[in-house]
Amino acid sequence: MDLRGAILIDVSAQDSVSFETDFLEGLGHPVLVCHGPPHAELCPILARASLGRACDKVDEAHGVIFELDLDRPQHRAILRRYREIMPEDVPIRAVVREGQAERYADILAEVSVWEHAPTAADLDGFAAEVEAYDRLVP
């Protein structure tokens, strides 16, 4: 499968991403969904940090929509790690809950934030940023 323009949606298992997945795939972007590690296990993006690696899905992503709960310490660490390992031009969006944008302003400073569920217009704009990134990489 050609993963050029792949978008990773990082979302907890109980959340639904069918709208985002269907919409982005309709725009021609392969979508990779990560529901995170099983309870009480460390996310591979953190576990492999000392090895300088992430995980296969992160390695393939040309854009990330982060929908995990920033009130959880491991989720904040995952978002920090994305910014550390992803190329600077890879677009990252964090979908945050009420009050999180202010509480976690330091973590969110280097990513764009949606304080609502992504709309078609949001996803279309994000897809355009991924396409712009794809034009920059060989």
According to the model, what pLDDT value does residue 61 have?
Answer: 92
CATH of domain 7-132: 3.40.50.2300
Please tell me the distance from the alpha carbon of residue 90 to that of residue 111, in angstroms, as a whole number: 10
Note the pLDDT of residue 35.
86
d(C-alpha 65, C-alpha 52), whole Å: 22
> What pLDDT is stored for residue 38 in this prediction?
74
Smallest CA-to-CA distance from 68 within 35, 90, 43 is with 35
Helix (H, G, I), strand (E, B) or coil at 5: coil
pLDDT along the chain (138 residues), means of 10: 82 78 94 83 79 77 94 92 90 96 95 94 96 86
Helix axes 120-136, 18-26, angle to 10 degrees: 50
Cα separation values, 126 from 24, 83, 119, 123, Å: 9, 17, 11, 5
CB contact at 8 A, 61 and 6: yes
pLDDT of the residue at 15: 63
Q: Quick one: tokens of 132?
A: 């712009």
